[in-house]
Structure 1
Amino acid sequence: MDILWTTHLEDTIYKDALSIRSAVFITEQEIDQAIEIDQNETNCIHGVGYINGQPVCTLRLLPQSAHHLIIQRVAVLKAYRHQRLGLKLMIAVEEKAKQENYSKLSLSAQLPVIPFYQKLGYSLTDNSTYKKAGILHKDMYKIISL
């Protein structure tokens, strides 16, 4: 899988990211488009994983501070799940973060995927559960060495 990154909203990579997010979040999870595509789009680094030129997974990274990135909108198309693409995407995030001198990664995890992030070394910030876009989440973080 090749992972490409962009910060340009006119870029094909960004359009591919939106297509995946639309399929997963808006269609499958029935999240309102007004929530899914928000004011942070222009501030994010958008990543898309491609297999044989086909966009199959995505996420976005929102810089929070000089050393802190928030991972958001992690999605894998239904037909490509259970192929460890999410793992490959998260490994690529850590590599990207290190290249750009970020040492803290955080995310808001839907409850069913918390074990996935825990296996990657993410810890729960606390035990608080909250609804985001109508779905239960918990905050997680990971400190990475540069």
Structure 2
Amino acid sequence: MSVTIIQTEDFAPIRALRMAVFVEEQGFTVESEFDDLDETSLHLLATENGEPIGCARLFVVEGEGRIGRICVAREARGKGIGAALVEAGIAHFRADGLSRAALSAQVQAQAFYSGLGFAPEGPIYDDEGVPHQMMARAI
């Protein structure tokens, strides 16, 4: 297995992954999945032997690094790709001098993010019928 994570401006593989995972698999609408943040965010792309298998987007809100739209193709799950994307995002924010990272986690994925050092913050909220909660950690 040869997994690589790069920053990319090529949105086509990012869009295809997010369509497959968030829209087709999880039922989010296209309109909610793709927003104005896509134009200004930094996008990470994970590939295995040259094939796109995961992605995430990075942006900053009031001095806090945000990692969002983290997804891994169904056939690539369970290999640590999601964790590697989160860690790559944290490394990017740390290099930029930020001291905190946050993400909006689906409640069913909280244990995964807790294992990466994130702790829940604030109330659980609804995002298209899926419970979410902000989670954050020092970096």
TM-score, normalising length from structure 1? 0.89
Work out the percentage of aligned pairs sharing the same amino acid: 28
Secondary structure, in 3 states, of the residue corresponding to 2:101? strand
Question: Corresponding residue for 2:130?
Answer: 135
**Offset of residue 43 of structure 1:** 1.4
Question: Corresponding residue for 1:5?
Answer: 7
Q: Which moved more, 1:89-98 or 1:116-125?
A: 89-98
**Deviation beyond 2 Å, 4+ runs, structure 1:** none
Question: Corresponding residue for 1:107?
Answer: 103
Matched, 1:98 2:70: no
Equivalent pairs counted in the alignment come to 137
Secondary structure, in 3 states, of the residue corresponding to 1:92? helix
Distance in 1, matches of 2:131 and 2:92, equals: 28
Matched, 1:45 2:12: no
Q: Which runs of 5+ in 1 are unaligned?
A: none
TM-score, normalising length from structure 2? 0.93
> What is the correspondence of 1:32-71 to structure 2 with a 5 Å cutoff?
32-65=29-62, 67-71=63-67
Secondary structure, in 3 states, of the residue corresponding to 2:75? helix
**Offset of residue 30 of structure 1:** 1.1
Distance in 1, matches of 2:35 and 2:65, equals: 17
Bigger proportion of residues as strand: 2
Q: Which runs of 5+ in 2 are unaligned?
A: none
**Offset of residue 133 of structure 1:** 2.3
**Offset of residue 82 of structure 1:** 0.8
Distance in 2, matches of 1:118 and 1:95, equals: 17
